[in-house]
């Protein structure tokens, strides 16, 4: 075990996989000479050279498209899209190509590709650079969408993604890069894709979250504990394929649930999880499910306004008390 | 004149005839309701696929657009299974899950007919990148209509291929219309090959109705790609049929079509074979008969093949489906 | 300061009430204790009295509306006071004569961000169902709990898991109903229908009818009944009654039923096993002898209770019975009139019914069915057939509480008292 930041954990995963398998290479904007705009790949160019650490033009379509092509013929590309907001420029590649080809060509073609990208708001980057559109990507069968909330999961999931035979959209969060946690140094430490995880056990209420909002939810749980409320916190970790087993088990125990996501509420993760709980565990609910999510506005630049729009610890605390009927 | 043997030349001729007849039968089956979805016919453009594929090595890679039946046959896929794919049958090249626009075969290194205009150009760059990465000289032929050269992918892909010197032949099938929009109404540059200048790559315009010219030019382009980097090859051609079945064809005249028919690639090649004493009437008839026989077998196979099983619906969404949803 | 009048809870198991009639109207002055309205519960029509004085400003429900217990039904304030319904946390629509019953509206909790509210929420959701969370519903079904017996502590009185748990703890401490909880025995939701007949008039079950249906089915299915019938010589009792009534004013005249009640009370004093109730793992022998009597009304049967019958004189019993029956017939019952019975006397003698068998009213251990006093041929001590005065009494008893022999002795004693009616007076 080592105590690492999320950034270090992700770098470690990339480095280990590149050392393990020559088919693995990186391509993306500013990942080589610059060292990555979030410094995740700092030092990689020196270690692995230009063949395996490929700076690309600013052209998201061909970054993802060429990675798909290389994956089709046996390589293991890790394409980096600088931020998730730019992934919209590669949307057709992700949705119409990466997600479709294995199925549409009846297994003739495989696309073992990882697209790494960074999402989330809270850094005063204004509306186009602050989005959390994770669910947009998770909407499509054929692609896997992973969004870790802890350094250990980031390492284990990224390594699993690189070794996976399917296209994986790997969403990091800029505000999580500094978060520290214990990370196994084992080079074969993998976290399975498509398995959610109980991050904190509790009996009074279930908080479901992922990515940065996992940290927010855990902080809320600590605050609630001081008031005698024992919250269980579940980390989805993977948005597609979604794993609701831990969620359903937890609702059987607590009968109450709050879902916390950084993205917008409408058609969001909360909507999906809530619907599944209503379908699978309706008879175990003691209160309507509450969702905590981003205000339905394009994020503003102004710091105070931006923070108003983003889910905060106190929002989670309030929602939990709501489902416990403690607010009046 | 050509390095191809007589047998090989006659085989190219037969392929072109087969593709023509195949497409005519496909239209008939479509009209009879046996084929669903869209159906884009290759009639009139046969020389390009046949010529280009003749120039490719077995270990080279092919990606095409959605007007792909001719390409699939020219690349060596079983025509029975190509037709069965259009019929949506389990025996289709992709099990009835892709249809007319999505032929593919990993064994033939045919990485797909692609139906998003321009979408396969970045993929072709990536396949070329894999050759560079692996240090091998497998090259890529990526064919697409001239309409695709106006889309961003063309520019991103050609640029990246040029920067990274990727072994890709970008083969433009300039059939004069992007759906119903004439090339001069859609592209600022009428001579599509000239777009190669913008990226400082090799480029050339050829007569796409001359199968031998296509063959020679593709061979040259592939050699360039393997040794120097990308090549933009524009083959000027014409499709006799509409863009797809049901096209009202308000954008062109009968006279225009007839003038191109006078330049038909199959007749021209047959005439060339006659003039070089490589073919005679008996051979032409024999080829015609054998094609008709094969077509009958193709249609019987497609008709009689089974539907995909229900389980096929859930197969191949992922290579590694996770157990718990 | 304006006060909200809510639908009162008029019984432990009352979940909703139907507003029958407004006694006061908007603008009327109301003094504390004044009757504001008449409410129909599933047991009776009951007066709602005001706990506040002032002027009646608003009526929030209309006659016929059924609203959950705790729902606002009216607003009382100072004369001339401006009433801001929204400030009181009430929806503005649904007031006055609008047919829509008001639903209590929780003040919106303060939020960090606006929470989208369902845009098309119906203005007046039908309130006639018991609100319960899914898990509470499931637990109730599994444990055989009648939700109308559970108090809801959630929003709008919603019954939630902790309410079921509290109810279970309470039930374990002092079981009220025959326990252990058997599976629920509702009246079949869709009983078989008659085929091959034409035409009918359908009337929805009233609350009282529903309650009777439920309780009678429960009793017949869960309580092992056994029956004893005796024929009592009523000649002496009838003679005594004639004598007594001759000296009593009209309003206090004694009926045969009063005689039976008094006699039963005296017999029960000797036989506590019949003045008992079954309570799961114990039998409760009651100190008080409170006798219920069934009162037939147009809207359905009602049981009224006369307390401490063993301690009351015959005249007092007659007086109490007359008063409470009158209230029942007028639909002006009070809660005390209906609760606390330990034994029931059911009399159809006035309809010349010779003999019948009654269904026990749980958790009571027994019920006595009283037939008509009739002139019948009897064999006298000399073996001669003569005209006698006889009344048939049939006891239905709960075999879990008592046995045939004990019940038989009770009936013997009851006969003795009635045949030597002087005992009724001492």
Subunits with 3+ Cβ pairs within 8 Å of C are: A
Strand partners of residue C376: C388
How many structural domains does chain A have?
A: 2
Residue A328 included in any domain? no
Residue C175 included in any domain? no
The model's pLDDT over C239-264, given as tens digits with 9 standing for 90+, comes to 988 888 888 887 778 999 999 999 99
Question: Would you place residue C384 in the very low, low, confident or very high pLDDT band (cuts 50, 70, 90)?
Answer: confident
Residues A9 and A140 placed together within one structural domain of the fold: yes
Beta strand ranges found along chain B (DSSP E): 61-64, 110-113, 140-145, 168-174, 177-178, 181-182, 202-207, 231-236
Where do the structural domains in chain B lie, given as residue ranges?
A: 6-249+261-302
Residues A263 and A136 placed together within one structural domain of the fold: no
Residue C11 included in any domain? yes
- Show which of C77, C106, C123 is a domain's final residue: C77
Task: State chain A's maximal CA–CA distance in angstroms.
Answer: 62
Residue A190 included in any domain? no
Q: Which long-range contacts (CB under 8 A, 24 or more apart) does C174-179 make?
A: C174/C279, C175/C279, C175/C280, C175/C281, C176/C279, C176/C363, C177/C362, C177/C363, C178/C222, C178/C223, C178/C278, C178/C279, C178/C280, C178/C362, C178/C363, C178/C400, C179/C279, C179/C280, C179/C281
- Show which of C36, C57, C77 is a domain's final residue: C77
Which three-class secondary structure string do you get for C17-30?
EEEEEECCCCCCEE
Q: Which residue has the higher pLDDT, C318 or A62?
A: A62
Residue A192 included in any domain? no
Model pLDDT, residue C100: 39
Question: Which H or E run contains A270?
Answer: helix A269-281
- Show which of A150, A183, A216 is a domain's final residue: A183
Residue C397 included in any domain? yes
Judge contact between C106 and A328, C-beta under 8 A: yes
Residues A80 and A103 placed together within one structural domain of the fold: yes
Residues A66 and A105 placed together within one structural domain of the fold: yes
Residues A170 and A242 placed together within one structural domain of the fold: no
Residues A159 and A202 placed together within one structural domain of the fold: no
Q: How many CB atoms lie within 10 A of CB A7?
A: 22
Question: Would you place residue C96 in the very low, low, confident or very high pLDDT band (cuts 50, 70, 90)?
Answer: very low
Q: Which residues contact B130 (CB under 8 A, 6 or more apart)?
A: A69, A70, A73, A74, A75
Alpha carbon of B151: minimum distance to chain A alpha carbons (Å): 11
- Show which of A158, A183, A208 is a domain's final residue: A183
Nearest to A61 among B153, B163, B312 (CB): B153
- Work out the angle at residue C294's Cα, subtended by the Cα atoms of residues C289 and C295, and round it to the nearest 5 degrees: 130
Mean pLDDT of chain C: 80
Question: Which H or E run contains C385?
Answer: strand C385-398
> Between chain C and chain B, are at least 3 CB pairs below 8 A?
no
Q: Which residues contact A204 (CB under 8 A, 6 or more apart)?
A: A229, A230, A231, A254, A256, A324
- In terms of Cβ atoms closer than 10 Å to its own Cβ (0-12, 13-18, 19+), residue B139 is buried
Chain C residues lying within 8 Å of A309, measured CB to CB: 113
What's the ipTM?
A: 0.94
Model pLDDT, residue C88: 73
Residue A191 included in any domain? no
Domain at C388, CATH number: 3.30.559.10
Checking if the pLDDT of B310 tops 50, the result is yes
Residue C387 included in any domain? yes
Model pLDDT, residue B258: 93
Asked if A109's CB is within 8 angstroms of B156's CB, the reply is: no
Checking if the pLDDT of C105 tops 70, the result is no
Residues A68 and A117 placed together within one structural domain of the fold: yes
Chain C residues lying within 8 Å of A328, measured CB to CB: 106-107, 109
CATH number of the domain located at residue range(s) B6-249+261-302 in this protein:
3.40.50.970
Domain at C67, CATH number: 2.40.50.100
Cα–Cα distance, B54 to B231 (Å, whole number)? 18
How many structural domains does chain C have?
A: 2
Checking if the pLDDT of C119 tops 60, the result is no
Would you state the structure tokens that stand for residue B10, as one six-digit string? 């006659």
- Residues of A serving a catalytic function are 60, 129
Asked if C154's CB is within 8 angstroms of A255's CB, the reply is: no
Residues A236 and A288 placed together within one structural domain of the fold: yes
- Show which of C31, C50, C77 is a domain's final residue: C77
Alpha carbon of B244: minimum distance to chain A alpha carbons (Å): 21
The model's pLDDT over A200-249, given as tens digits with 9 standing for 90+, comes to 999 999 999 999 999 999 999 999 999 999 999 999 999 999 999 999 99
Checking if the pLDDT of C343 tops 70, the result is yes
The model's pLDDT over C364-375, given as tens digits with 9 standing for 90+, comes to 999 999 999 999
Q: Give the residue numbers spanning the domain of C55.
A: 3-77
Maximum average pLDDT range among A308-312, C298-302, C360-364: A308-312
Q: Give the residue numbers spanning the domain of A302.
A: 197-323
Chain A residues lying within 8 Å of B112, measured CB to CB: 101, 105, 109
Asked if A74's CB is within 8 angstroms of B125's CB, the reply is: no
Q: Tell me the average pLDDT across B209-221.
A: 98
pTM over 0.95: no
């Amino acid at each position: 075990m080592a105590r690492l930041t999320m950034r270090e954990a992700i770098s470690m995963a990339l480095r280990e996989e590149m050392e393990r398998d020559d088919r693995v290479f990186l391509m993306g904007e500013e990942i080589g000479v610059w060292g990555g705009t979030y410094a995740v790949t700092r030092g990689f160019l020196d270690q692995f050279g230009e063949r395996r650490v490929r700076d690309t033009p600013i052209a998201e379509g061909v970054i993802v498209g060429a990675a798909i092509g290389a994956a089709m013929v046996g390589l293991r590309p890790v394409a980096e899209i600088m931020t998730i907001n730019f992934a919209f420029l590669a949307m057709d590649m992700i949705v119409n190509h990466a997600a479709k080809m294995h199925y549409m060509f009846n297994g003739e073609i495989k696309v073992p590709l990882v697209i790494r990208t960074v999402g989330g708001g809270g850094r005063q980057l204004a509306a186009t650079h602050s989005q959390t559109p994770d669910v947009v990507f998770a909407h499509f069968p054929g692609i896997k969408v992973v969004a870790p909330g802890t350094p250990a999961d980031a390492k284990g999931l990224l390594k699993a993604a690189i070794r996976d035979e399917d296209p994986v959209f790997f969403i990091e969060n800029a505000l999580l890069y500094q978060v520290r946690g214990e990370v196994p140094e084992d080079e074969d430490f993998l976290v399975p894709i498509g398995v959610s995880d109980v991050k904190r056990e509790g009996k009074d209420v279930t908080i479901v979250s992922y990515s940065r909002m996992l940290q927010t939810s855990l902080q809320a749980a600590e605050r609630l504990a001081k008031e005698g409320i024992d919250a269980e916190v579940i980390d989805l970790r993977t948005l597609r394929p979604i794993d609701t087993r831990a969620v359903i088990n937890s609702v059987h125990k607590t009968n109450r649930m709050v879902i916390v996501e950084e993205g917008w509420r409408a058609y969001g993760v909360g909507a999906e999880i809530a619907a599944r709980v209503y379908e699978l565990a309706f008879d175990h609910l003691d209160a309507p499910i509450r969702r905590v999510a981003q205000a339905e506005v394009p994020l503003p630049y102004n710091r105070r306004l931006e923070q108003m729009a983003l889910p905060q610890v106190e929002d989670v605390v309030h929602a939990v008390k709501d489902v416990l009927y403690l607010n009046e | 004149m050509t390095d191809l043997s007589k047998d090989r030349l006659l085989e190219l001729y037969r392929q072109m005839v087969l593709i023509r007849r195949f497409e005519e039968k496909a239209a008939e089956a479509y009209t009879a309701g046996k084929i669903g979805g869209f159906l884009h016919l290759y009639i009139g453009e046969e020389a390009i696929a046949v010529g280009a594929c003749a120039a490719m090595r077995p270990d080279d890679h092919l990606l095409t657009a959605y007007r792909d039946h001719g390409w699939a046959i020219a690349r060596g896929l079983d025509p029975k299974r190509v037709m069965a794919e259009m019929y949506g049958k389990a025996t289709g090249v992709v099990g009835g899950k892709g249809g007319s626009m999505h032929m593919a075969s990993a064994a033939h290194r045919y990485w797909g007919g692609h139906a998003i205009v321009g979408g396969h150009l970045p993929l072709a760059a990536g396949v070329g990148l894999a050759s560079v990465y692996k240090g091998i000289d497998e090259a890529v032929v990526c064919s697409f209509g001239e309409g695709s050269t106006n889309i961003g992918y063309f520019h991103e892909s050609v640029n990246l291929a040029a920067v990274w010197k990727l072994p890709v032949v970008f083969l433009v099938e300039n059939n004069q219309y992007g759906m119903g929009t004439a090339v001069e109404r859609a592209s600022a540059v009428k001579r599509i090959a000239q777009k190669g200048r913008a990226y400082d790559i090799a480029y050339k315009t050829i007569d796409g109705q001359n199968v031998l010219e296509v063959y020679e030019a593709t061979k040259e382009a592939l050699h360039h790609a393997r040794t120097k980097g990308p090549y933009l090859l524009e083959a000027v051609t014409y499709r006799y049929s509409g863009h797809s079945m049901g096209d009202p064809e308000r954008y062109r005249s009968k006279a225009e079509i007839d003038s191109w028919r006078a330049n038909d690639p199959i007749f021209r090649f047959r005439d060339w074979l006659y003039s070089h004493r490589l073919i005679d009437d008996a051979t032409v008839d024999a080829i015609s008969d054998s094609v008709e026989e094969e077509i009958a077998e193709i249609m019987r196979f497609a008709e009689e093949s089974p539907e995909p099983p229900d389980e096929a619906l859930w197969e191949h969404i992922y290579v590694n489906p996770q157990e718990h949803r | 300061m304006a006060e909200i009048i809510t639908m009162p809870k008029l019984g432990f198991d009352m979940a909703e009430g139907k507003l029958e009639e407004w006694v006061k109207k908007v603008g009327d002055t109301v003094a504390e204790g004044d009757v504001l309205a008449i409410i129909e519960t599933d047991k009776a029509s009951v007066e709602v009295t005001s706990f506040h004085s002032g002027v009646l400003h608003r009526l929030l429900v209309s006659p016929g509306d059924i609203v959950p217990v705790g729902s606002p039904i009216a607003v009382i304030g100072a004369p001339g006071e401006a009433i801001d319904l929204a400030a009181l946390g009430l929806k503005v629509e649904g007031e006055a004569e609008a047919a829509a019953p008001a639903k209590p509206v929780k003040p919106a909790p303060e939020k960090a961000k606006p929470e989208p509210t369902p845009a098309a929420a119906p203005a007046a959701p039908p309130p006639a169902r018991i609100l319960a969370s899914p898990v509470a519903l499931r637990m109730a079904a599994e444990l055989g709990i009648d939700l109308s017996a559970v108090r809801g502590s959630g929003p709008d009185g919603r019954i939630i898991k902790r309410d079921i748990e509290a109810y279970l703890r309470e039930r374990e401490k002092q079981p009220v109903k025959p326990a252990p909880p058997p599976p629920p025995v509702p009246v079949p939701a869709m009983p078989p229908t008659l085929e091959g007949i034409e035409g009918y008039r359908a009337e929805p079950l009233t609350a009282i009818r529903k309650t009777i249906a439920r309780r009678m089915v429960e009793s017949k299915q869960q309580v092992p009944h056994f029956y004893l019938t005796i024929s009592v010589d009523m000649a002496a009792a009838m003679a005594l009654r004639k004598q007594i009534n001759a000296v009593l004013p009209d309003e206090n005249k004694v009926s045969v039923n009063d005689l039976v009640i008094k006699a039963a009370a005296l017999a029960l004093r000797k036989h506590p096993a019949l003045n008992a109730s079954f309570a799961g793992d114990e039998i409760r022998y009651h100190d008080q002898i409170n006798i219920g009597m069934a009162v037939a009304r147009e809207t359905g049967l009602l049981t009224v209770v006369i307390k401490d019958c063993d301690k009351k004189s015959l005249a007092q019993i007659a007086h109490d019975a007359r008063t409470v029956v009158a209230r029942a017939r007028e639909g002006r019952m009070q809660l005390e009139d209906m609760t606390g019975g330990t034994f029931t006397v059911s009399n159809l003698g006035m309809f010349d019914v010779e003999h019948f068998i009654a269904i026990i009213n749980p958790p009571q251990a027994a019920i006595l069915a009283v037939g008509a006093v009739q002139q019948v041929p009897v064999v006298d001590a000399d073996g001669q057939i003569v005209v006698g005065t006889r009344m048939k009494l049939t006891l239905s008893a709960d075999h879990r509480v008592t046995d045939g022999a004990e019940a038989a002795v009770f009936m013997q004693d009851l006969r003795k008292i009635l045949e030597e009616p002087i005992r009724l007076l001492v």
